[in-house]
Structure 1
Amino acid sequence: MSDEETVSKESVSIKHLACAVLTISDTRSAGDDTSGNLLAASLAHAGHDCRKRDIVKDDVYQIRRVISDWIADEEIQVILTTGGTGFSHKDNTPRAITPLLDVDIPGFGELFRQLSFQEIGTSTVQSRALAGMANGTVIFCLPGSNNACRTAFDSIIRDQLDSRQKCNFVTHLIRE
């Protein structure tokens, strides 16, 4: 085993990423945005900076406006959205964000639904959680429930944003 392989994860500094959190909801406000708060706190706990936060109605064009601005912002490397990924006609997140992506990350949605199945059973088939990259920014679109956000962040996203992990998305971010 080489010296490099024997270095523990804890002894290597994590690369702090500039992040943004968007809550997509027709009912949430800054005072009761529990899933947005959970994601912002999770990012901070993982050593990242939540530099932008917003709440928009579940409207394709309002979602695209904010996401497009953040994708174009050279400061933002990671975007987490919460809400609007369900199966009803009122859930517009996938329809709003998919056309903005340069590349899809299909494994994220697949893995999220597999993990969610253990928690909520077959209802997970109604989740359209997704991820992708746009202009060097990684975007994760999560359901609006706190449990779903916690599952996605703790089980998938945290490690994928950890520069100390052997295989992660940090290596694909072009912004410094």
Structure 2
Amino acid sequence: MSRIDESLPFHPVRIAVLTVSDTRTPDTDRSGDTLVERLTGAGHMLAARGIVPDERATIAARLRDWIADPGVDAILTTGGTGLTGRDVTVEAHRDVYEKEIEAFGTVFTLVSMQKIGTSAVQSRACGGVAGGTYLFALPGSPGACRDAWDEILVLQFDSRHRPCNFVEIMPRLEEHLRRK
């Protein structure tokens, strides 16, 4: 079973938070606030924060900008993962992924099932990697953001988590670029 090995050092991760919404503002962005509170409370650094409308090209452009920024290790987006016509965050993420972390969506669904039952099938939460940066698309509710962070991401972004974690393989995410 997973555990935190207190004998190992903690390595903070630089995480950007992007809210995808046509209506939220910095004053009404409760989901973004939830993620920022949780990641900084866990000892990580907020690398950037923003709000963009539900426009696939705009979302993908912001993701690409942050992927290119050496000061960003991971990106968490909130909003736009549902089934309505304006929900295009997942498509924007997949436009930039080099590799998808397929199990993230499955594990998120399992966590959500415990909280909201079969309504969990309406979320298309996903994760991936691009340019050595982790990307995760989370639903737009504060509860879903708490669940994703508290049950999955806080552990995977902790370098002390065993048997493995995202932090320990960060230096290897772009090893394919070093091959000649």
Aligned pair 1:171/2:168, yes or no? yes
Q: CA deviation at 1:11?
A: 4.5
AA aligned to 1:41 is E
1:42 aligns with 2:38: yes
**Number of corresponding residues:** 168
2:8 to 3, 6, 12: 12
- Equivalent position of 2:148 in the other structure: 152
Could you tell me whether the CA contact under 8 Å between 1:108 and 1:131 is conserved in 2?
yes
Partner residue in 2 for 1:52: 48
Letter in 1 for 2:64: S
> For residue 105 of structure 2, what is the aligned residue in structure 1?
109
Q: Structure 2 CA distance, aligned partners of 1:120 and 1:165?
A: 27
Match of 2:68 in 1: 72
**Aligned partners of 2:60 and 2:95 also within 8 Å:** no
Q: Partners in 2 of 1:147 and 1:129 — Cα distance?
A: 13
> How far has the Cα of 1:147 moved from its partner?
0.5
Q: Provide the residue aligned with 1:96 in structure 2.
A: 92
1:122 aligns with 2:114: no
RMSD (Å) for aligned C-alpha atoms: 1.3
Q: Percent identity?
A: 46
Give per-residue Cα distances to partners, 1:33-73, cap 9 Å, x unaligned.
11001101111011100020000001101101110000111
SS at the partner of 2:27?
helix
Matches within 5 A, 1:124-143: 124-143=120-139
What SS does the corresponding residue of 1:131 show, helix, strand or coil? strand
Contact 1:82 1:149 (C-alpha < 8 Å) held by counterparts:
yes
Report the CA distance between 1:174 and its aligned residue: 3.0
Q: Could you list the per-position Cα deviations for residues 122-161 of structure 1 after superposition, in whole angstroms to 9, with x for gaps in the alignment?
A: 1111100000111110111100001100000000000000
CA contact (8 A) 2:82 2:123 kept: yes
Aligned partner letter, 2:94: T
Structure 2 gaps of 5+ residues are 173-180
How does the TM-score come out when normalised to structure 2?
A: 0.90
Alignment deviations for residues 76-129 of structure 1 (CA, whole Å, 9 cap, x no partner): 101110000001111000111102111111111001011111111111111000
TM-score, structure 1 normalization: 0.92
In 2, the alpha carbon distance for the partners of 1:171 and 1:11 equals 15
